[in-house]
Amino acid sequence: MTEPNEQQGPRIGKDEWVARHGDNRDRRAGVAGTIEERLRNVPWWAWLALFTGIVCLLPIGFESGYVRRIAFDTVIFMLLALGLNVVVGWGGLLDLGYVAFFGVGAYTYAFLSSDKFDVHLPSILTIPLACVVGGVIGLLVGLPSRRLVGDYLAIVTLFFFQIFLTVTNNGENLFGTDVTGGPNGIINVDPLSLFGRELPVSADGIFNVAYLYVALGAFVVVYVALRLVDRSRTGRAWRSLREDALAAELMGMPVSWLKLMAFAFGAAVAALAGTLVTALNGSVFPQSFEFPLLITIFTMVILGGAGSQAGVVVGAILISVLLEVLREPGDARFLFYTLGLLGLFAAFRLSVRLAVVLGGTLVFGLIAHAVAGSVDDAWTAGAGGDGGRLADWAVHWVIVPADLAAWVTPVSYIGLVSLTLVLTLLRGWTRLALLVPTLYLAAFVWENVMLPKPEPTRFVILGALLVAVMVARPAGLLGEKRVEIV
């Protein structure tokens, strides 16, 4: 037998072609390829350390309490996403009661450290206790659901979520005693106390950055701990259960117990996040744990890539920051047009078609604006929102009437959705031709309908983004491609 060499090529039948699949992979040439290769070899803990370092330095660059508070909220979302990832990403269990565990942690903290029952335990006790309570309740919820999968499990967990909301909302008269304070919640909750010292929630009138560091510390501990579990016997069993529960059971893995463990781990992490939020807010209300929060956390996990720890963290950061940015019309406008351009670049690359679409839309807009302006000045007399030069430019391109007739909003909105749907059915030049007015209509809807109402707009944009990412990368941004049927 001679050693196979480059001239002979891999021998078929000995699986050598597959053996060399690494060489066959597309690899970018030159510096970009080398950098890509190097980046791939950076160990996970280095990324984690780098990320933690950057967040630690954040308060130096940003003096504003607002930015620091957003950073804190984002870290909380990262924790929540990590916890949900255990249940959904690794265990493959659809847990729609997840937010209730967040609430359980929050209320447990409030019970143990507030004037409510006049108990004031130090945080070093309260936080672990709340995690244990969360984990145990997770176990209890899992108990009746351990034989359920898919939609059945989802319904049972959703029911538990509803029970939690009912109990907290009506808890001011629970069998005659006031437990949760009902809709008024629990106020005057102690701030965190570490090593006998209380951590004030605000220093010099702004958000105390120590809370950000505490949350970040919790995040790092949880991230590392969960990663170690993932790379162990338990993690393998969870993934086996996700892949094929029956096969896992028949290979000696106690599937019911593993499901309960996944529930308990996820619940404990959610409870931890709950304690930190309550300590900072100094209060807890049932309204903080409603359905939109559940959807938001699920979006983070799915967008980032369920099953990938780094993925769900990226998802949490993206969604959390995005939802904040979209509150500010100027930033939102910038984001809208940037995302639009990036989307076009991603779809067409640098090609003639891109030039045609961009140029076409630009010209289309200028003509439409000029025509509308010459018919009636009022049609283009709208001020547009505030937001600097981009706003000035936008009102000279997009038709922004001074007074928007009532019928314009629904017609343009429905028109945009219909045009987008029609676009997906078309191919070739007809598609490009229709894309131009669709883009312009999108800009029109954005400037006239969506920008003036930031609150619903945020979630519409979020939904659209999720749809776009899911079409492009069904497994999420950093999720590994998974094969369901072979």
Binding site for another protein (CB under 8 A): 15, 18-19, 225, 228-229, 231-237, 239-240, 243-244, 246-255, 261, 265, 480, 482-484, 486
**In contact, 241 and 248? CB cutoff 8 Å:** yes
Q: How far is the first Cα of the chain from the last one, in angstroms, to the nearest whole number?
A: 35
Neighbours of 311 (CB within 10 A): 25
Q: How far is the CB of 11 from another protein (least distance, A)?
A: 13
Distance CA 353, CA 373 (A): 30
Distance CA 288, CA 60 (A): 30
Helix 255-281 / helix 210-230 crossing angle, nearest 10 deg:
170
Distance CA 106, CA 85 (A): 20
Is the Cβ of residue 251 or residue 426 nearer to another protein in the bound state? 251
Is the Cβ of residue 250 or residue 411 nearer to another protein in the bound state? 250
Q: How far is the CB of 252 from another protein (least distance, A)?
A: 3
Q: How far is the CB of 143 from another protein (least distance, A)?
A: 16
CA 87 to chain centre: 16
- CA distances to 173, 181, 294, 417 from 116, in Å: 14, 9, 27, 51
Single out the residue of 136, 88, 78, 162 nearest to residue 267, CA to CA: 136
Single out the residue of 326, 358, 322 nearest to residue 343, CA to CA: 358
Q: How far is the CB of 256 from another protein (least distance, A)?
A: 8
Is the Cβ of residue 120 or residue 147 nearer to another protein in the bound state? 147
Q: How far is the CB of 255 from another protein (least distance, A)?
A: 7
Tokens 């492009």 belong to: 472
70 contacts: CB under 8 Å, gap ≥ 6: 320, 321, 324
Size of the chain, expressed as the number of residues it contains = 486
Single out the residue of 472, 448, 471, 451 nearest to residue 460, CA to CA: 451
Is the Cβ of residue 271 or residue 280 nearer to another protein in the bound state? 271
Q: How far is the CB of 18 from another protein (least distance, A)?
A: 7
Neighbours of 270 (CB within 10 A): 32
Q: How far is the CB of 258 from another protein (least distance, A)?
A: 9
Q: How far is the CB of 224 from another protein (least distance, A)?
A: 8
The burial class, CB within 10 Å (0-12 / 13-18 / 19+), for 26 is: exposed
Is the Cβ of residue 243 or residue 386 nearer to another protein in the bound state? 243
Q: How far is the CB of 244 from another protein (least distance, A)?
A: 5
Is the Cβ of residue 250 or residue 342 nearer to another protein in the bound state? 250
Is the Cβ of residue 225 or residue 347 nearer to another protein in the bound state? 225
Is the Cβ of residue 77 or residue 223 nearer to another protein in the bound state? 223
The burial class, CB within 10 Å (0-12 / 13-18 / 19+), for 375 is: exposed
Is the Cβ of residue 95 or residue 190 nearer to another protein in the bound state? 95
